[in-house]
Amino acid sequence: MKGGKGEEDKRGKGCGLVELSLALKSFSSFSPLPLFPFSPLFPLIFLTLLFFITSVVGVVTGSNSLITVPAMFQFGIDARVAVATNMFGLTFMAVGGTLPFLGRGMIDRKRLPLLITVTLAGSVLGALLVLVVPSRAMPLIISFAMIAVAAFTLLRRNRGVIPPDTQPTRATTCVAYALTFALGVYGGFFSGGYVTMLTALFVALFRMTFVEAVSTTKIVNVFSSLVATIIFMARGLVDYKLGIILGLAMFAGAFVGARVALKLNNIWLRRIFIATVLALALKMILDFGFSILD
């Protein structure tokens, strides 16, 4: 399970990826491995179940990678291989989460072509370039960004719940597309928290309801994950044996989660979104604090 192909110098090309991976690795203090020391299949079973469960919830909330990638670290998987293989699985998840929404009239088809275009451009840039933000600070920045997302959602109680009477202005729309591109850069690099912030962006600026935002982000994320995955594959960083197993688990989890989401109204989707985002943000802040104390 330590997979990953390619020479070490090949892996070293993604310096920002290495730093961000190590930063997240240092924040993860719990390892389930000692609980089952005599079961060689436990790591695979544990990760498969974890990826399935997080995908069920992650269809609505996003941020799977903030849980799944650190879990992979705990089983000795190389940091760069973990990030790349997780991205490989996210492509399966995005497809599985998209299928139940097709033909339901909930996807913003008018904006979708431009959203995909700016996301593709951002994802390519994100997967190729080293992030200019200090990598070790990134998890903490993501935590506060998600708290801000939750705060906005709490303060604007009707946003995303009741369809708006008016459409966003041209200036607001331009800002929304620019931010979609910026998030695409980050999403192509790592993806932890990407869909969460993208969902909030669609609700806040494009004035989509939660179900519209959730369904639209699923299609956008297919392209974001796929582009980044192709680049990681070219670098020889994807563990295909592990990735296919986890990818299928994520596909199934996302499909189930999307079917459940279709049965929930916007109020319940909002509640699930806020609760999960706050829990993940607080977890990351606590992990950051423990990493400083260590």
Residue 1 domain flag: no
For residue 130, count CB atoms less than 10 angstroms from its CB and return exposed for 0-12, middle for 13-18, buried for 19 or more. middle
Measured from the Cβ of residue 60, the count of other Cβ atoms closer than 10 Å reads: 26
Q: What is the pLDDT of residues 265-286, one digit of tens each?
A: 777 777 777 787 777 777 767 7
How distant is the alpha carbon of residue 157 from its chain centre?
24
Measured from the Cβ of residue 1, the count of other Cβ atoms closer than 10 Å reads: 15
* 8-state DSSP, 202: H
Q: How high is the pLDDT of residue 59?
A: 84
* Contact of 43 with 1, CB cutoff 8 Å: yes
* Contact of 278 with 147, CB cutoff 8 Å: yes
Of residues 194 and 151, more confidence is placed in 194
Distance CA 167, CA 14 (A): 41
Residue 76 domain flag: yes
Distance CA 96, CA 98 (A): 5
Coil vs helix vs strand at 236: coil
Q: What is the pLDDT of residues 238-261, one digit of tens each?
A: 999 999 999 999 999 999 999 988
Length of the chain: 294
Residue 50 domain flag: yes
Residue 3 domain flag: no
pTM recorded for the entire structure: 0.74
Across all residues in the chain, what is the average pLDDT? Answer: 77
Residue 218 domain flag: yes
Of residues 190 and 264, more confidence is placed in 264
Of residues 70 and 3, more confidence is placed in 70
Coil vs helix vs strand at 166: coil
Q: What is the dihedral of CA 7, 132, 20, 191, to 10 degrees?
A: -100
Q: What single-letter amino acid sits at 216?
A: T
Coil vs helix vs strand at 228: helix
What is the percent of the chain where pLDDT is above 90? 24
For residue 104, the enclosing domain spans 8-293
Q: If you search the block for the tokens 């609700």, which residue do you land on? A: 203
Q: What is the pLDDT of residues 3-61, one digit of tens each?
A: 444 444 444 444 455 555 555 555 454 445 454 455 567 888 889 999 999 899 888 87
* Contact of 199 with 214, CB cutoff 8 Å: yes
Total domains in the fold of the chain: 1
Residue 120 domain flag: yes
For residue 117, CA distances in Å to 91, 201, 224, 227 come to 17, 17, 10, 12
* Contact of 65 with 222, CB cutoff 8 Å: no
Residue 253 domain flag: yes
